[in-house]
Amino acid sequence: MADEHALYQRILLEHSRRPRNFREMNDADLTAEGHNPLCGDKLRVYLKMDGEVISEAMFQGSGCAIFKAAASMMTAALEGKTRREACALSETFCNMIDSEPGDPVDIKRLGELVALAGVREYPVRRRCATLPWHTLRAAFETHGRTRSTA
Amino acid sequence: MRAARAGAMDLGVGMAAGPKDENISRKAAPLSDEEVSRLRKDFPVLGLESAGSPLVYLDSATTSQKPQAVIEALAEFYRSQNANVHRGVHRLSQAATAAYEGARKRVAAFLGAGTPDEIVFTRGTTEAINLVAQTYGRRHVGPGDEIVVSAMEHHSNIVPWQLLCEENGAALRVVPINDDGELMFEAFEALLNERTRLVSITHVSNALGTVNPVKRVIERAHAAGVPVLLDGAQSAPHRAVNVAELDCDFFACSGHKMFGPTGIGVLYGKREHLETMPPYQAGGEMVLSVEFERSTYQAPPHRFEAGTPAIAGAIGLGAAVDYLSAVGMGRIAAYERGLLEYGTDLLLEADVRLIGTAKEKAGILSFHMDCAHPHDIAQILDDEGVCIRAGHHCAQPALARFGLSATARASIAFYNTKEDLDALGAGLEKVKRVFG
């Protein structure tokens, strides 16, 4: 494509084609399942903890490109973060997704996650981007229960 | 006061297209491209732009667009006839009642029912099926009994029966489908037994496009003494339906998929069934007399229409079936067959996996692409002004049969053209460029 698609930016497509940390973890310390019944996006998030620090984050699941890229970028961003830092990042990310198109984004804190800011133009796709992060919080809070964003 | 249908007839639209009795002819000539381009002008939405491109609407299986005749019938009712029905002595109420009951007559004629008393207005197909489950079903289905559906049903022809089965201790039996998405007829025959109380099956599958051999299904079920409900949501808008000829016991369809308004639908029921069925919802309109000791109920169809009905909706639906009859259902079906062939070839060339390849198919093109999720396909197509549906189409078991949880689905109506399908093809090339 000559110019970047407002939604499907290059970095997003790259993550959706070759998602990072896309496999099952048998010895996860924390895990939870997330499901968006509206469009069928489904994933399981796995975390390996070293005390309060996330040493490894992985996911498995199926869904659209937005969802897959969001989950892939999330696992990449989580490694080495404390539980508290991860929750703060989740909040910053979900706030960005829920903000209005054109609103300023916190590039410093979000890093390459800002590639998903284009989702703001497409309200029905917002949940595709936030489902992995909601599932992450479910892993912290409930350890194992299914998180539905419906 | 003008009759409600005047709005529709005044516009004249495709009224020149052909005689009404074409409904029955199976060999009707397809609409010509010129006729279609004239008919398209009757649909204001089809003239819109979307995302800077001409709107290409390939989502009529979800809901259809409305011709000016229907829009005008609604407006005309509210402008000059608005009153409640079956209530007043005043002339306005009489006019509204005449228009409402006139719509029932039109729908009865359109579907080939013997009498308008066999036509119950509902909110849509979903409510029509729920009505049968909650009245006929509750009365006739008991512990150990069985209800037969197929593996290609819409959720609205599964869940009402599940609820009934849970409540009454009955069991749901499912006719399997083959790899083309066709009903496995011998398996269907094998499921019929002395405990079978009802067969409820779709006429045309919304997710796969399969046209079921409903005549054979009905004959076979009747031979076993089992009544049949047909879900006609996807058949009534696209082919001639004659419930008397089919000999089905119930037939359900939705106004909004038949180029009519939302919030109105139809349950056809054989008089012998409707007469013995208990009421559905209770309230005004459906009673003869109310005392605290007991109440007595109206005869069908009013027994099943508690409360103020969707009066304007019914009148709008009446205008829609007038419009369809004037165009000719046989000609519509013949034209759509041609478009389906064109679209099928186009998708095969685009190297997508078609889901639903039955020999007898209606204008529904459900497909899967390895490179892109259905929602991403629909998103890219939307950028080009092309509207399709992505998801499970409320038929999760049908898609699960093919190992899928979602497909992209383009669905056609008589107002679509080869150019619309070409736009779909061009959009899919873009999908491949973005995701391939």
The residue behind tokens 């031979």 is: B223
Please name the residue of chain B whose CA is at the shortest distance from the CA of residue A63: B373
Contact yes or no for A5 and B434 at CB 8 A: yes
Residues facing B411 on adjacent strands: B59, B364
How many angstroms separate the CA atoms of B248 and B9, rounded?
A: 31
Q: Quick check: is B38 in a domain? A: no
pLDDT tens-place string over residues B195-253: 999 999 999 999 999 999 999 999 999 999 999 999 999 999 999 999 999 999 999 99
The confidence score (pLDDT) of residue A29 equals: 94
**Closest partner CB to A64 (pick from B373, B392, B434):** B373
Is residue B157 scored above 70 in pLDDT? yes
Instruction: Provide, as residue numbers in chain A, all residues whose Cβ is less than 8 Å from the Cβ of B435.
Output: 8, 13, 17, 65
C-alpha distance across the termini of chain A, in Å: 34
- The band of A85, judged by pLDDT with boundaries at 50, 70 and 90, is very high
How many angstroms separate the CA atoms of A75 and A60, rounded?
A: 11
**Cα–Cα distances in angstroms (integers) from residue B128 to residues A118, B65, B157, B160, in the given order:** 42, 22, 10, 10
B172 vs A: CB within 8 A: no
Q: Are residues B295 and B232 in the same domain?
A: yes
Of B271, B294, B325, the residue at which a domain comes to its end is B325
Q: Quick check: is A113 in a domain? A: yes
Please name the residue of chain B whose CA is at the shortest distance from the CA of residue A17: B435
The confidence score (pLDDT) of residue B87 equals: 80
pLDDT tens-place string over residues A88-119: 999 999 999 999 998 999 999 999 999 999 99
Question: If you ran DSSP here, which 8-state letter would residue B31 be given?
Answer: P
The confidence score (pLDDT) of residue A148 equals: 56
Which range marks the domain in which residue B380 is found? Answer: 330-435
Contact yes or no for B376 and A122 at CB 8 A: no
Q: Quick check: is A103 in a domain? A: yes
The confidence score (pLDDT) of residue B297 equals: 92
Q: Quick check: is B217 in a domain? A: yes
Q: Are residues B182 and B222 in the same domain?
A: yes
Interface of A with B (CB under 8 A): 1, 5, 7-8, 13, 17, 38-40, 42, 62-66, 122, 125, 128
**Residue A67 burial (C-beta neighbours within 10 Å; 0-12, 13-18, 19+):** buried
The confidence score (pLDDT) of residue B26 equals: 55
Q: Quick check: is B373 in a domain? A: yes
Instruction: Provide, as residue numbers in chain A, all residues whose Cβ is less than 8 Å from the Cβ of B392.
Output: 40
B355 vs A: CB within 8 A: no
Angle, alpha carbons B206-B210-B214 (nearest 5°):
105
CATH code where residue A77 lies: 3.90.1010.10
Q: Quick check: is A3 in a domain? A: no
Q: Are residues B174 and B295 in the same domain?
A: yes
Question: If you ran DSSP here, which 8-state letter would residue B59 be given?
Answer: B
CATH code where residue B235 lies: 3.40.640.10
Of B294, B325, B356, the residue at which a domain comes to its end is B325
- Higher pLDDT, residue A38 or A13: A13
Is residue A5 scored above 90 in pLDDT? no
Cα–Cα nearest to B325, from B69, B27, B1: B69
B399 vs A: CB within 8 A: no
The confidence score (pLDDT) of residue A78 equals: 96
The answer for B364, left when phi > 0, alpha when psi is -120 to 50, beta otherwise, is beta
Which range marks the domain in which residue A72 is found? Answer: 10-142
Contact yes or no for B375 and A125 at CB 8 A: yes
Give the mean pLDDT of chain A. Answer: 90
Task: Please tell me whether residue B20 adopts helix, strand or coil conformation.
Answer: helix
Region B409-422 average pLDDT: 98
B406 vs A: CB within 8 A: yes
Q: Quick check: is A108 in a domain? A: yes
Tally of structural domains, chain A: 1
The confidence score (pLDDT) of residue B4 equals: 40
CATH code where residue B367 lies: 3.90.1150.10
Angle, alpha carbons B171-B234-B173 (nearest 5°):
10
Q: Are residues B209 and B343 in the same domain?
A: no
Q: Are residues B286 and B421 in the same domain?
A: no
Tell me the one-letter amino acid at B14: G
Contact yes or no for A39 and B391 at CB 8 A: yes
The confidence score (pLDDT) of residue A36 equals: 87
Q: Are residues B351 and B315 in the same domain?
A: no
Q: Quick check: is B142 in a domain? A: yes
The confidence score (pLDDT) of residue B20 equals: 41
**Closest partner CB to A39 (pick from B375, B380, B383):** B375
**Cα–Cα distances in angstroms (integers) from residue A100 to residues A13, A105, A110, A119, A126, in the given order:** 23, 10, 17, 10, 12
- The band of A146, judged by pLDDT with boundaries at 50, 70 and 90, is low
Is residue B7 scored above 90 in pLDDT? no
Please name the residue of chain B whose CA is at the shortest distance from the CA of residue A8: B434
CB B205 within 8 A of CB B212: yes
Please name the residue of chain B whose CA is at the shortest distance from the CA of residue A14: B435
Q: Are residues B141 and B284 in the same domain?
A: yes
Instruction: Provide, as residue numbers in chain A, all residues whose Cβ is less than 8 Å from the Cβ of B376.
Output: 8, 64-66
Q: Quick check: is B80 in a domain? A: no
- The band of B88, judged by pLDDT with boundaries at 50, 70 and 90, is confident
Q: Quick check: is A4 in a domain? A: no
Tally of structural domains, chain B: 2
Give the mean pLDDT of chain B. Answer: 93
Q: Quick check: is B213 in a domain? A: yes
Q: What is the ipTM of this complex?
A: 0.89
Region A123-143 average pLDDT: 91
How many angstroms separate the CA atoms of B119 and B131, rounded?
A: 13
Tell me the one-letter amino acid at A27: D
Q: Are residues B187 and B294 in the same domain?
A: yes
Q: Quick check: is B35 in a domain? A: no
Of B272, B293, B325, the residue at which a domain comes to its end is B325
Separation in Å, CA of A113 to nearest CA in chain B = 19
Q: Quick check: is A85 in a domain? A: yes
Q: Quick check: is B270 in a domain? A: yes
Its pTM surpasses 0.80: yes
The confidence score (pLDDT) of residue B188 equals: 98
The confidence score (pLDDT) of residue B287 equals: 86
Whether B253 is catalytic? no
How many angstroms separate the CA atoms of A137 and B363, rounded?
A: 44
Is residue A147 scored above 80 in pLDDT? no
